[in-house]
Structure 1
């Protein structure tokens, strides 16, 4: 399988099993791609709609709100493109 095929399958598995029935995922992006023996690990990152708040160190009393970034590792068979695991 080509790299493009593996990545496309990983995103299909992500949409099918992780993002299923969820409309609040933002910024779904390829974060990493690596070989694992004969298989592949595709890391997909996304913002799930939750936020964390932290105080600013320079502007006393102000806080900064930023999205919580989540990732999933999609393990894909290098032989047939089947899903092996999502972690």
Structure 2
């Protein structure tokens, strides 16, 4: 499954060169970090778009996980890239 990251004011970045793999129905946590936090990190809108090879799409919200970490938890419903 492929994903893109929607970021508010480019506050959070993800190393897109790193491959993330999961089996069907496996729960994976995708972590994002930032060098500096906004004044109110809990108010940050953070989400990712996932698209499967068959065209199935999901938009999932992320959360502030503590410190400079943000997290999106995802479970792929089908196999693919």
Q: Same fold (TM over 0.5)?
A: no
User: Which is helix-richer, 1 or 2?
Assistant: 1
Computing the radius of gyration from Cα coordinates, the structure with the larger value is: 1
Higher RCO structure (Cα 8 Å, ≥6 apart)? 2
TM-score interval for Structure 1 and Structure 2 normalised by the shorter chain: 0.3 to 0.5
TM-score computed with the length of structure 2 as normaliser = 0.36
